[in-house]
Amino acid sequence: MELIRVVNLYKIYGNKEKEVKVLKGINLSILKNETVAVLGASGVGKSTFLHILGVLDRPTSGDVFYNGEAIFKKDDRSLAYFRNRNIGFVFQFHHLLSEFTALENVMMPLLIAGIDKQISAENAEQVLTEVGLKERLTHRPGELSGGEQQRVAVARAIIHSPNVLFADEPTGNLDTHTGEEVFNLLLELNRDKGITMIIVTHNERLAGRLSRKIIMVDGSICEKGDVN
């Protein structure tokens, strides 16, 4: 069943005198529970594409549909509400709040959504336990390894049971072994929780473990298909 449909998507920066076309008429369909790798050289528009799919940014033209709904017809406040409840993000740099513990960082999306503090803490503890950090609840980011920090970021991304998780080079700042562990965790979450995964990566080997890959060149998709 289709979760996301992208129709003739463009993103242009600047003005007519000096415009830069970052995305150039992308069309794509992503199914529920699918794992999709987005590959391509630096500067081809992968992150911009991910940010628009994750409704962090608006396109210049074109549409993105979630479950058949044209999402960018919503105003900014409604988009923020939708994003908080339906979408998770993991970036290359974990963006954890250094003054808060792992538990408090993971609680944050629930608190923003107005969930009771005690319930938020209980849910955060459960998710941190699921990602292997039961003994690190009260540790601050500076007291955690790079891999542990990224696991906290993953826990924060899935605390509200999103329909889809977007990951932008989630292993790019990690050593090979730790990156493999984080990638395995993402695949486990897809298998166990049914979260659709769209992952930007330069790592062809890891991309080959996903169900499908798309390759971007100069703001367009030049190849899309199942991974053998």
> Residue 184 carries which side chain, given as an amino acid letter?
N
Query: Which residues does 38 contact at the CB level (< 8 Å), separation at least 6?
Result: 46, 49, 50, 198, 199, 200, 201, 213, 214, 216
d(CA 115, CA 65): 28
pLDDT in tens, 21-51: 899 999 999 999 999 999 988 888 888 999 9
d(CA 224, CA 214): 4
Mean pLDDT of the chain: 87
Q: What is the DSSP letter of 16?
A: S
pLDDT-based confidence at 84, cuts 50/70/90? confident
Please report the domains of the chain, with CATH numbers, ordered by start residue. 36-47+75-226 (3.40.50.300)
> Residue 68 carries which side chain, given as an amino acid letter?
G
Burial of 4 (0-12, 13-18, 19+ CB in 10 A): buried
Contact 109, 156 (CB under 8 A): yes
pLDDT in tens, 121-145: 999 999 899 888 888 899 999 999 8
pLDDT in tens, 161-209: 889 999 888 777 777 887 788 888 888 888 888 899 999 888 788 888 8
